[in-house]
Amino acid sequence: MPSLGRRKLLNNTMTVLTGLCALFAVASLFFILGYIFWGGLRGLSLGFLVNSPKPIGEPNSGIANAIVGSAILIALGSAIGMPVGILGGIYLSEFGSNKFGLLLRFLIDTLTGAPSILVGVFVWTVMVHPMGYFSALSGGVALGIMMMPIVARTTEEMIRLVPHSLREAGLALGAPRWRVTLGVVLRTAASGVATGAMLAIARIAGETAPLLFTALGLNYLSTNVFQPMASLTYQIYYYAQSPYEEWHDMAWAATLVLVTMILALNIAVRLLTRNRHQQA
Partner 1 sequence: MGQPLAGEGSAPSLTPNQPHLPLGRARSSLRARPRIGDPLFKWSTGFFAVLIAGLAVLIMVEMAINSKLPFAKFGFGFLSRSVWDPVKEQFAALPFIYGTAVSSVIALLISVPVSLGVAIFLVEKAPRKLSNPILFLVQLLAAIPSVVYGLWGIFVLAPTLRNHVYPALQSTFGFLPLFQGNQNGLGLLTAGLILSIMVLPIITAVTTDVLRAVPGTQREASLALGSTKWEATLIVLQNARSGISGAIILGLGRAIGETMAVTMVIGNRSQISASLFDPSYSIASVIANEFTEATSEIYLQSLIELGLILFFVTFIINMLARLLVWSVTRGEGRGGHA
Partner 2 sequence: MKNNYLRVTATVLIVGALSLALIGCGSGSTGGANSEVKLQGAGATFPNPLYQKWFSEYNKITPSAKFDYQSIGSGGGIKQITAKTVDFGGSDAPMKDEELKAAPGEILHIPTVLGAVVVTYNLPSVTTDLKLTPDAIAGIYLGKITKWNDAAIASSNPGVSFPDTAINVVRRSDGSGTSYVWTDYLSKVSAEWKEKIGVGAMVNWPAIGTAAKGNEGVTGQVKQTPNSLGYVELIYAEQNKLPYASVKNSSGEFVKPSLESVTAAAAGAAGQMPDDLRVSITNASGKDAYPVSSFTYFLVYKNQDDQAKGAALVNFLWWAIHDGEQMTKPLLYAPLPAEVAAKAEQKIKSITYQGKPLRAS
151-190 positions binding partner 2, by CB under 8 A: 190
Q: Give how far the C-alpha of residue 235 lies from the chain's centroid of Cα atoms, to the nearest Å.
A: 18
Q: Give how far the C-alpha of residue 96 lies from the chain's centroid of Cα atoms, to the nearest Å.
A: 25
Instruction: Work out the number of other CB atoms within 10 angstroms of the CB of residue 202.
Output: 19
Among residues 40 and 228, whose Cβ is nearest to partner 2? 228
3-state secondary structure of 138: helix
Partner in contact with 55, chosen from partner 2, partner 1, none, beta carbon below 5 to 8 Å by kind = partner 2
Distance in Å, CB of 262 to partner 1, minimum: 5
Q: Please state, in angstroms and rounded to a whole number, the distance separating the CA atoms of residues 137 and 80.
A: 10
* Dihedral (CA of 221, 202, 129, 127) sign: negative
8 Å CB contact between 149 and 112: yes
Q: Name the one range near partner 2 by CB under 8 A: 35-43, 109-117, 166-174, 269-277.
A: 269-277
Kindly write out the interface string for residues 245-264 of this chain, putting x where it contacts partner 1 by CB under 8 A and - elsewhere.
Answer: ---x--xx--x--xx--xx-
By rule CB under 8 A, what count of residues binds partner 2?
A: 49
Q: Give how far the C-alpha of residue 47 lies from the chain's centroid of Cα atoms, to the nearest Å.
A: 28
Q: Tell me which residues in 206-225 interact with partner 2 (CB under 8 A).
A: 216-220, 222-225
Kindly write out the interface string for residues 47-86 of this chain, putting x where it contacts partner 1 by CB under 8 A and - elsewhere.
Answer: ------------------------------------xxx-
| Burial group, residue 168, by CB count within 10 angstroms (0-12, 13-18, 19+) | exposed
8 Å CB contact between 196 and 104: no
Tell me: does residue 173 bind partner 1 (CB under 8 A).
yes
8 Å CB contact between 39 and 245: no
Angle, alpha carbons 257-238-265 (nearest 5°)? 25
Q: Please state, in angstroms and rounded to a whole number, the distance separating the CA atoms of residues 160 and 99.
A: 18
- One of 6, 129, 177, 179 touching partner 2 (CB under 8 A): 129
- One of 33, 36, 75, 171 touching partner 2 (CB under 8 A): 75
Distance in Å, CB of 59 to partner 1, minimum: 23
Distance in Å, CB of 127 to partner 1, minimum: 12
Q: Using CB under 8 A as the criterion, which residues of the chain lie in contact with partner 2 when the complex forms?
A: 54-56, 58, 71-72, 74-76, 78-79, 82, 128-129, 132-134, 136-137, 140, 190-191, 194-195, 197-198, 201, 216-220, 222-228, 241-244, 268, 272-276
